[in-house]
Amino acid sequence: MSAPHNHHGHDDHHGHGHDGHGDGHHGSLKDYAIGFILSVILTAIPFWLVMTKQFDKSSTTAIVILAFAAVQVVVHMVYFLHMNGKAEAGWSLLATIFTLVLLVIVLSGSIWVMYHMNLNMMPTMGNDVHTMHDMQ
């Protein structure tokens, strides 16, 4: 029983070098370059949107930034983590679901924290200052 296991382990190691490039397990320099360029673009566009105040409402800006963030997660998964439909035993699906759950938690948590920081830390005008001070 140990002989086939050793033989199988040897085949996997040997096969990885030859078969890995064809099925997407190893990235090429071209894949990394495409992923890097897409990541830079998907970072620069939201930065430009915020700095030039393209949208009147901050909620619209936040939604657009979240959409760019979600696309960037997919770019990272495809070009840097080399996730595709050919992964073994459903690990690709499980990793995708886990990534989506983490994405929702991180993005919604970040929006929640930023909203409350904005609400509680920004200086207010007029009588609101006294009302907030009296509440404490």
pLDDT at 136: 56
C-alpha atoms less than 13 angstroms from C-alpha of 31 in its C-beta half-sphere:
16
Mean pLDDT of 89-93: 67
End-to-end CA gap in the chain: 72
Mean pLDDT of 12-25: 45
11: exposed, middle or buried (Cβ count in 10 Å: 0-12, 13-18, 19+): exposed
Q: Which residues, including other chains, have CB under 8 Å from residue 118's CB and lie 6 or more apart?
A: none
For residue 94, what are its two tokens?
A: 């499980």
CA 97 to chain CA mean position, Å: 13
**Orientation angle between helical segments 58-79 and 91-121, nearest 10 degrees:** 150
pLDDT at 116: 85
Give the whole-number percent of the chain exceeding pLDDT 90: 26
For residue 70, what are its two tokens?
A: 């979600």
Q: Mean pLDDT, the chain, as a whole number? A: 75
Of the pLDDT bands very low, low, confident and very high (cuts 50, 70, 90), residue 24 is very low
Q: Which residues, including other chains, have CB under 8 Å from residue 80's CB and lie 6 or more apart?
A: 27, 32, 35
